[in-house]
């Protein structure tokens, strides 16, 4: 079973992402912020990461930068799930190593379709 890490400081958002992906047959691990996300990445192997942008401790961009430096995570797809829709922010995310961007709220079917495409 493919493993996905979802990182968000909002419990409800984590819950919704997990619910959507578990229903689609994925194993989902939750992290409460960027720091927690980096810790989990260091200890486990994930096939895809979905992260929020604005989080306490370590934000989404910082986390992506950290993940990309982690061995074995150079090509793991990372999707940013944020309330931000500004082009500059998206560009920042892309430069840090994000694979794609979703403006909250997400479309569950679309998210599953993209995840399926990215982790197949």
Look up residue 118 and give its two tokens.
Answer: 């990215």
Positions 72 through 101 that interact with other proteins (CB under 8 A): 79, 82-86, 90, 94, 98-101
Nearest-CA neighbor of 38 among 59, 12, 54, 11?
59
Nearest distance, CB of residue 43 and other proteins, angstroms: 26
Largest interatomic CA distance in the chain: 35
What b/e sequence results for 96-106 when a residue is b if at least 16 CB atoms lie within 10 Å of its CB, and e otherwise?
A: bbbbebbeeeb
Nearest to other proteins of 38, 79 (CB atom): 79
Q: Compare residues 43 and 87 and give the one whose CB is closer to other proteins.
A: 87
User: What is the total count of residues that contact other proteins (CB under 8 A)?
Assistant: 33
Among 12, 43, 71, 72, binds other proteins (CB under 8 A): 12
């Amino acid at each position: 079973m493919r493993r996905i890490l979802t990182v968000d400081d909002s419990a409800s958002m984590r819950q919704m992402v997990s619910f959507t992906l578990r229903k689609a047959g994925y194993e989902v691990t939750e992290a409460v912020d960027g720091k927690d996300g980096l810790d989990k990445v260091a200890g486990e192997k994930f096939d895809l990461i979905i992260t929020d942008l604005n989080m306490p401790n370590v934000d989404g961009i910082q986390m992506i930068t950290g993940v990309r430096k982690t061995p074995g995570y150079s090509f793991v797809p990372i999707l940013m799930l944020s309330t931000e829709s500004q082009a500059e922010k998206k560009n920042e995310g892309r430069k840090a190593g994000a694979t794609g961007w979703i403006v909250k709220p997400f479309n569950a079917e679309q998210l599953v379709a993209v995840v399926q495409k990215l982790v197949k």
